[in-house]
Structure 1
Amino acid sequence: MRVFVAGATGAVGSLLVPMLVAAGHEVTGTSRSPAGTERIRSLGATGVRADALDAEGLRHAVRAAAPEVVIHQLTDLSGADGAANGRIRREGTRNLVEAAKAAGVGRIVAQSISWAYAPGDGPAGEAVPLDGTAAQPRAGTVAAVRALEETAAELETAVLLRYGLLYGPGTWYAPDGALAAALAGEPSAPFLGSTVANDAVSSFVHVSDAAGAALAALDWPGGPVNIVDDEPAPAREWLPALAEALGVPAPTPVAGRQEWERGALNALARGRGWQPEWPTWRTGFAARCAVR
């Protein structure tokens, strides 16, 4: 299958490209830099320079690749700028979908998130609607996610991968990532997450398992699907465990959570055959986040 990966050098994309190649797919991946395109080529794929915010350039890149499916792994998180990442979700997704339409592509697999659900008591399944009651800044995040998913769904088949919090190489939760810096007291660390060990429930997924889900989703039916591990957990449990794995001080546990901080369920993904290598953050943190 001919596959076009937008965002091929990101935390998920850089692991996904070699998985696709190993599975026998003909892969074209995008990067905004010459170094990035060379990295893609070193993985056995075709690397092309393209910027998600350059509609015409992206249209040309997709048309030249003539893919059968587009995979959307575009983010802008390096500077922890929520507005910039929201722009990628809105404008970048629009440009990618329009490019896919122009090239006659009817299938997209798109990266979304699993913490945009409406408030509730337990972990959310895919039938729970997105949060329509949030105040800013969360309202902006949810609106951008909604725009991403609705735009992707304009294609005939759109598989919307609602990832949990990504940990592992290249993420904020890696040994050299922003969370470790924030917990170590570096005030300038760019980080949009929380360092409060409270009752807020989160769901995690290792980046390699996230990439594996994108590979598996090439032939999944359309619609949203949570890509999270088996154990949603409150921050007062997972944050001290992660701090220990990272070798940084753990915050003191406190009470309290927002009603939307509820985690997510992975029954649908598992029902489609997805089996995470790291089914719980408890073993994943220790094995994959410890300083190596």
Structure 2
Amino acid sequence: MRVLIAGATGVLGSLLLPALLSDGHTVVGTTRHADRRRAILDAGGEPVAMDALDPASVAAAIAAARPDAIVHLLTDLSGRDWAGNARLRVEGTANLVDGALEAGVDRMIAESVSWRYEPGERPATEDEPAAVDPVTGGPVYAPVESLDRDLARMPHGTVLRYGLLYGAGTWYAPDGMLTREAGAGRVVATTDHTSWIHVDDAVAATVLALDWPAGAVNVVDDDPARLADWGPVLAERGGYAGDALELVAGAPGRAADNGLARSLGWSPSRPSWRDGLGLD
């Protein structure tokens, strides 16, 4: 296939590009920054400029790339810019889907999150409902649900609900922001209950997903955990040796079940976060 990666210089995108090339695909990668074009070229891809928040820019990039499929890995998490990331997930996704449909591209894969489910003790399968705010009655993760609705407009849209990403280049790498904070005695988590996935396993699943059916697929490892379990491990690996570790979770969250992904031919090479969190 000819594949357009939207977000080709991010943590996942920069690893996915060579993985797709080695699988025989031709890859075009988008970037907003002229100084990142060289990284795409050096990896063997074709760079194309794109501002995901500008519909005309998105349409032009898709027209130039002429893809058979689009992989949507756009995020804006530098400095924990949650509002910017939410805007990209809502407006950027809508622009990508609109541009794809206009250009006649029928296949898109998009990055999402596995902790979006209604809280519960049992790992959630893909048909579990989304978490709802008890006060407003609306979804807790509204931008994530917006992405789902937009991908459903595609003739063939696949949403990959990744667990928390760890490994090289992530916040949980040895030099990652959250590992450093944990080493200083404070661990802040999006949710208390979560599933993990190593970046290499996330990339492997994304390559395979070009042939997966439409719909949502959880891409997580086999070892869901509570913050009280993984937080001290990360802190120790970050160098913390005190006895007053602060653990802060923003929401209850939910672990996810990876049975569907396994049935589609994928399995994690890193079954547990315990083998690499804060180490690689």
1:71 counterpart SS class: strand
1:70 counterpart SS class: strand
Aligned to 2:101: 101
Please give the TM-score of this superposition, normalised by the length of structure 2. 0.92
Over 3 Å counting, the alpha-carbon distance change for 1:134 and 1:253 in structure 2 is farther
d(CA) in 1 for partners of 2:84, 2:27: 27
d(CA) in 1 for partners of 2:11, 2:32: 15
Over 3 Å counting, the alpha-carbon distance change for 1:283 and 1:109 in structure 2 is same
| 1:117 shift after superposition | 0.6
d(CA) in 1 for partners of 2:250, 2:272: 23
Aligned to 1:150: 149
Over 3 Å counting, the alpha-carbon distance change for 1:108 and 1:179 in structure 2 is same
Aligned to 1:114: 114
CA RMSD of aligned residues (A): 2.6
Do the aligned partners of 2:118 and 2:253 also contact (CA within 8 Å) in 1? no
1:126-145 pair list within 5 angstroms: 126-133=126-133, 142-145=141-144
The structure 1 segments of at least 4 consecutive aligned residues displaced by more than 6 Å after TM superposition are: 253-259
| 1:153 shift after superposition | 1.2
Aligned to 2:89: 89
Aligned to 1:194: 189
d(CA) in 2 for partners of 1:80, 1:249: 26
Do the aligned partners of 2:108 and 2:156 also contact (CA within 8 Å) in 1? yes
Percent of aligned positions that are identical: 45
Aligned to 1:212: 204
2:119 alignment partner AA: P
Aligned to 1:180: 179
Over 3 Å counting, the alpha-carbon distance change for 1:99 and 1:290 in structure 2 is same
Aligned to 2:275: 283
Q: Which digits, 9 at most, give the CA deviation of each residue in 1:173-197, with x for residues without a partner?
A: 112222123224499xxx9x4299x
1:172 alignment partner AA: W
d(CA) in 2 for partners of 1:148, 1:70: 14
d(CA) in 2 for partners of 1:212, 1:258: 30
Over 3 Å counting, the alpha-carbon distance change for 1:231 and 1:24 in structure 2 is same
Over 3 Å counting, the alpha-carbon distance change for 1:53 and 1:256 in structure 2 is closer
Aligned to 1:242: 234
Q: Which digits, 9 at most, give the CA deviation of each residue in 1:90-109, with x for residues without a partner?
A: 00001111111111000100
Unaligned 5+ segments in structure 1 are: none
d(CA) in 2 for partners of 1:85, 1:65: 24
2:257 to 257, 260, 265: 265
Over 3 Å counting, the alpha-carbon distance change for 1:250 and 1:46 in structure 2 is farther
Q: Which digits, 9 at most, give the CA deviation of each residue in 1:149-184, with x for residues without a partner?
A: 111110101110001001112211112222123224
Please give the TM-score of this superposition, normalised by the length of structure 1. 0.88
1:240 counterpart SS class: helix
Do the aligned partners of 1:236 and 1:253 also contact (CA within 8 Å) in 2? no
d(CA) in 1 for partners of 2:237, 2:2: 39
Over 3 Å counting, the alpha-carbon distance change for 1:135 and 1:179 in structure 2 is farther
Do the aligned partners of 2:6 and 2:70 also contact (CA within 8 Å) in 1? yes
2:117 counterpart SS class: coil
d(CA) in 2 for partners of 1:40, 1:248: 37
Do the aligned partners of 1:239 and 1:250 also contact (CA within 8 Å) in 2? no
